[in-house]
Amino acid sequence: MFWSVNNLPARGSRELGQIGTTSFVLSSGSASATRSIYVLGKEDVDTDEYDATVIAHEWGHYYQSAFSRDDSPGGSHSTSQRVDRRLAFSEGWGNAWSGIALERGNYTDAVGSAQAQGTNLDLTTGPASAPGWFRESSVHAILWQLNKQGGFKAIHDTLTGAAFKGGVPVTSIHPFAAAYRGVAPGNAALLNGLLTGQGISAAASDPFGNNETNDGGLPSIALPMYRTATIGGGVTTACVSRLFGDDNKHGSYTYLRFSASGAGARTFTVGGPAGSDPDLVVYGGGELGASDAVGTTETASVALPAGEFVLAINDFANSSDNTCFNVTIN
């Protein structure tokens, strides 16, 4: 935990207190991962040391990282935004956990002169409009209510169980819901009602969200939630968008799933239009590899065992509202 009266919301050197904002940081080293929480402390600007919900939120990220699985790309976000599915789940969980841990229904964060301004966020409900799997407040409302009405054990068992931690889909509300039904079948009706209330598919046994119909305003990009690619099967087209913002927003990533019948090196090639800069991440029960070279074509070779995997692709340049990539796996 790193806190100082000099920690303020500026980019730059952490040693000078320029920590960006209060955040959880996972640093991967050669020996082991290091998990840290940085906390703002600049009086009359932004202090968080007395904002218990903010601290609990960051501890929620620690919990998910250390005891569960978190594929979130991180980065800037807001409850008013539509964001990537992994980010929505991670931040929604953090919000919900702050309420669960502190036994309260709101999230507060003081800023400004005398710490008299800030945020008061209702954890018990989702967004006033456009709810869905791409909204962190939809996720926090579901998890907060699930704890209130169904207890925490089932949530904990789901987050730490093999189905969610080791599943093929990236971490989001759909694989959580599928795993939760397996852990607590008696709470399925409760969960389904909460999902439906937030505009999220309540189809049973659907960790990939194949039955999802809420595209969040990106009909040709966001659905299906995973496109199918075939090793040696030619080109798959997948598109991303910056319509809802850059880097980690709804539409920033596109997801492909593919199967490998045997172990071997697989070569991924993602070609984009001029001005784009595709990057990729390969998942199989967690992140297995990533490549983020500069240019309109990304090529990476990854040795994979037999099994099913997910390929996530984004445009680092955030070049347009409809950037399409040609993807091959060989």
Partner 1 sequence: MISVPVRKTMLAFAALGVAAVSLPALADGPHATRAQVPAPLKSSRDRRMILAPQKPNGSGIVVRYRLDATPQAGKAVPVELSLERVTGSDATVRFEGGSGLRLDVGRVPRPLEAGRDAALTVDVVPDRTGISYLHVFTTQDGITSVASIPVQVGKADASLPGVGQLKPSSDGDKILSIPVK
Task: Give residues 188-247 in contact with partner 1 (rule: CB under 8 A).
Answer: 245-247
* Contact status: 274 vs partner 1 (CB under 8 A): no
Preceding omega of 207 cis (within 30 degrees of 0) = no
Segment holding 309, helix H or strand E: strand 307-315
* Contact status: 304 vs partner 1 (CB under 8 A): yes
Candidate ranges 143-151, 193-201, 225-233, 299-307; the one touching partner 1 (CB under 8 A):
299-307
Candidate ranges 23-31, 167-175, 226-234, 251-259; the one touching partner 1 (CB under 8 A):
23-31
* Contact status: 102 vs partner 1 (CB under 8 A): no
Burial of 280 (0-12, 13-18, 19+ CB in 10 A): buried
Side-chain-side CA neighbours of residue 130 (13 Å) = 14
CA-wise closest residue to 133 among 225, 265, 258:
225
Contact pattern from residue 62 through residue 101 relative to partner 1, giving x for each residue in contact according to CB under 8 A and a dash for the rest: --------x-xxxxxxxxxx--------xx--xx------
Candidate ranges 143-151, 170-178, 186-194, 294-302; the one touching partner 1 (CB under 8 A):
294-302
Identified binder of partner 1 from the candidate list 50, 205, 292, 330, rule CB under 8 A:
292
3-class secondary structure per residue, 224-261: CCCEECCCCCCCEEEEECCCCCCCCECCCEEEEEEEEC
| C-alpha to C-alpha distance for 51 and 60, rounded to whole angstroms | 14
* Contact status: 31 vs partner 1 (CB under 8 A): no
* Contact status: 15 vs partner 1 (CB under 8 A): yes
Identified binder of partner 1 from the candidate list 213, 303, 306, 330, rule CB under 8 A:
303
| C-alpha to C-alpha distance for 104 and 56, rounded to whole angstroms | 12
